[in-house]
Amino acid sequence: MSVDLEELARRAKEVEPAWDDLREQRVLESIRRAPPSEPEAPRRRVAWIAAAAIVVFGVSAGGWLWVTGASSSNRVAVVAPRAPSEPPEAARSEMVLADGSTVALDADARVRLALQEPERVVLEQERGRAVYTVAQVPARSFEVHTPAAIVRVRGTVFVVEVDDDATLVEVREGRVEVEARAGDGRRSLLGVGDALSVAATAETVAEPEVGDRSSASAVGGRPSESAVGGRSSASAVGDRPSESAVGGRSSESRPPPPPSADELLARADEARLASDPARAAEALDAFLRHHADDGRAASAAFTLGRVENRRGRHRVAARAFERSRALSPTGPHAEDALAQEALAWSSAGDIERATDAARRYAEAYPSGLHRSRVQRLLSGE
Amino acid sequence: MTSPAAQAEPDERLVARLQEGDDRALTQLYRRHARYIAGVARRLMGDELELDEVVQEAFIALRDRAHTLEEPGRVRSWLVRVTVRGATKRLEKRRRRRRLLAAQPPPRTTTDPVADHELRALFQVLEQVPPKLRVPWSLHRIEGETLPRTAELCDISLATVKRRIAKADARIRAALGREQEG
């Protein structure tokens, strides 16, 4: 079938951004606040390339390279901010391994690549929080060793957080097996939404705060003796499971992995275009539940707030605006989000919260774009 | 909003004022050209994820390098050139990042859904086209820039620009054709 590309390009010329007065003013304010730009220094570029070459070589060679999340350091493999809107203090560093797996490190994280071979990759995480996105490579095992546990994966996304007393593992996609180092080396199989805290001593505790729906299957019989309340119920495993047990029985009771971030955003876009705010809200909500670490989360939360406002669900909208700001306190939506939060609380009839948000807005943005509306809230008009 | 007086004052004069350090001239130039520049950036980038940053960078460059403008009357053209460079850099960065991250699908935004399915397909296909082909193609085919002007904006020769546009044409047609058949 032939494509009339010229006609399509002509129509593309009509695509315009959502550039309204508010956005125009916001960008202008950013320009006014921006410090003078410096001419690009060739020396810096050369230095950056050299540093990148060294660290990429270090990672691909599988050497004993410590990588920390402190983004000011050039010791990381590939330094890539998560999103342009994120504040510098929240910026992460990212390790990219030869097989395409990535490790996003929080500023306090310390991870080293201990072994990188075609059939086995081992990383050691000494402290801090890191998000692992593991490429699916058949017949290659991928392990993260912490002081308290060994986490083995196939292809998945999971978070490992290490502190002095315990290691917390939270699974976002796929499944992982966690083996406690202390005691009898019990193993737990975690699925999507599950979280498990492995104490540095012989105790294993399911983490009630994380994990929203699924539960890990008990493999090998003995249920966890220390699982605590809450929705997550990852259970400890008595005996070392065979590979077939890990791959087979456990997956039957587990819900399918959540849709990808792009898929959910596409659904939200389509629903908004179809004037279906309920479906848009559902997709955005799912995006925020499953992909809260995505660089677009603050923008999605802001959009959710707007959608919920349109649905007349002002309380939910206020929460969404609050979340948008929390996700990106200095991002492009931050100011609007705080003002919208105040207005949404007001519409929901929660005067106390509305006043509180309005007051915070007035303090943070004394000459902000919404100051007159916010001022009206404060004066009780 | 733009005042009638500001509308009447030619770009040349505003640039001269800016060169003398008058910040209000920058505001007036921004009010006059920002929307147009945002449109160019939006179509070049295919989405609005980094739109504010690209526009911001163009006007910061104007503020800081106004003294280098050889033809102050063609400030919009100068801004487009800066925008093309900024957008190209960001597209290249995205592409590098996608390759490093095992070819993840292109990012989507929650703020700029394009209603037209065919156009959406076009922008998705453009995500797969290398920026060195995509940018000249977009400037010539979408923005309607002439070939010599496209070559100038991309800092490449006329022969190269022709070759790259032809290559992009072929790739885009093939990809869209596959999409229609699929």
Shared domain for A227 and A310, answered yes or no, is: no
Distance CA(A52)–CA(A60), nearest Å, equals 12
Shared domain for A312 and A243, answered yes or no, is: no
Instruction: For A254-284, write each residue's pLDDT tens digit.
Output: 556 778 888 888 788 777 767 788 888 888 8
Between residues 43 and 102 of chain A, which touch chain B (CB distance below 8 Å)? 78, 80, 84, 96, 100, 102
Q: What is the mean pLDDT of residues A218-222?
A: 32
Whole-number pLDDT of residue A201: 64
Q: Would residue A181 count as lying in a domain?
A: yes
Number of domains in chain A: 2
Note whether B175 contacts A: Cβ–Cβ < 8 A. no
Residue B107 to residue A5, Cβ atoms within 8 A? no
SS3 of chain A: helix, strand, coil, percent, to 5: 40, 20, 40
Distance CA(B133)–CA(B160), nearest Å, equals 10
Shared domain for B123 and B47, answered yes or no, is: no
pTM for this model (two decimals): 0.44
Q: What are the CA-CA distances from residue A364 to residues A200, A329, A344 (Å)? A: 43, 11, 18
Q: In which band, very low, low, confident or very high, does the pLDDT at A147 lie, cut at 50, 70 and 90?
A: confident
| pLDDT: which is higher, A101 or B38 | B38
Instruction: For A292-306, write each residue's pLDDT tens digit.
Output: 888 788 888 888 988
**In chain A, whose CA is at the least distance from the CA of B105?**
A262
Which stretch of DSSP H or E encloses residue B84? helix B75-100
Between residues 65 and 124 of chain B, which touch chain A (CB distance below 8 Å)? 97, 100-102, 105-116, 118-119, 122-123
A278-285's contacts with Cβ under 8 Å and 24+ in sequence apart are A278/A311, A280/A307, A281/A307, A281/A308, A281/A311, A281/A313, A284/B110
Contacts of A351 (CB under 8 A, 6+ apart): A345
Q: Would residue A79 count as lying in a domain?
A: yes
**Token pair for A279:** 């479906």
Shared domain for A58 and A111, answered yes or no, is: yes
Q: Which domain holds residue B108?
A: 1-113
Shared domain for B25 and B106, answered yes or no, is: yes
Residues in chain A: 381
Residue A3 to residue B31, Cβ atoms within 8 A? no
Which of A232, A252, A272 is where one domain is finished? A252
Shared domain for A108 and A234, answered yes or no, is: yes
Residue B112 to residue A8, Cβ atoms within 8 A? no
Q: Which domain holds residue A173?
A: 45-252
Average pLDDT of every residue of chain B = 86
What does A138-180 look like in DSSP terms, one character per residue?
TT-EEEEE-SSEEEEESS-EEEEEE-SSEEEEEEEES-EEEEE
Q: Would residue A40 count as lying in a domain?
A: no
**In chain A, whose CA is at the least distance from the CA of B137?**
A9
Query: ipTM of the assembly?
Result: 0.87
Backbone angles phi, psi at A195, to 5 degrees: -140, 145
Whole-number pLDDT of residue A94: 75
CA angle B128, B133, B137 (to 5 degrees): 105
Q: Would residue A7 count as lying in a domain?
A: no
Residue B110 to residue A268, Cβ atoms within 8 A? yes
Residues of B in contact with A5 (CB under 8 A): 141, 169, 172-173, 176
Least confident stretch, A4-18, A170-184, B5-19, B76-90? A170-184
- Looking at the DSSP bridge assignments, the partners of residue B175 are none
Shared domain for B16 and B97, answered yes or no, is: yes
Shared domain for B119 and B104, answered yes or no, is: no
Number of domains in chain B: 2
Contact status, residue A250 vs residue A189, Cβ threshold 8 Å: yes
Shared domain for B78 and B106, answered yes or no, is: yes
Residues of A in contact with B48 (CB under 8 A): 17-18
Shared domain for A282 and A364, answered yes or no, is: yes
CATH number for position B164: 1.10.10.10
Q: What is the mean pLDDT of residues A336-341?
A: 89
Q: Would residue A282 count as lying in a domain?
A: yes
What b/e string do you get for B112-150 counting C-beta neighbours within 10 Å, with b at 16 or more?
A: bbbeeebbbbbbbbbbebebbbbbbbbbbbbbebeeebb
Q: In which band, very low, low, confident or very high, does the pLDDT at A169 lie, cut at 50, 70 and 90?
A: confident
Q: CA of A31, closest CA in chain B: separation in Å?
A: 6
Shared domain for B76 and B13, answered yes or no, is: yes
Q: CA of A50, closest CA in chain B: separation in Å?
A: 17
Which of B67, B85, B113 is where one domain is finished? B113
Distance CA(A344)–CA(A348), nearest Å, equals 6
Shared domain for A211 and A153, answered yes or no, is: yes
Which of B66, B91, B113 is where one domain is finished? B113
User: Nearest 10 degrees: CA dihedral of A27, A28, A29, A32?
Assistant: 130
Q: Would residue A12 count as lying in a domain?
A: no
Q: In the predicted model, is pLDDT for residue A144 greater than 60?
A: yes
CATH number for position A321: 1.25.40.10
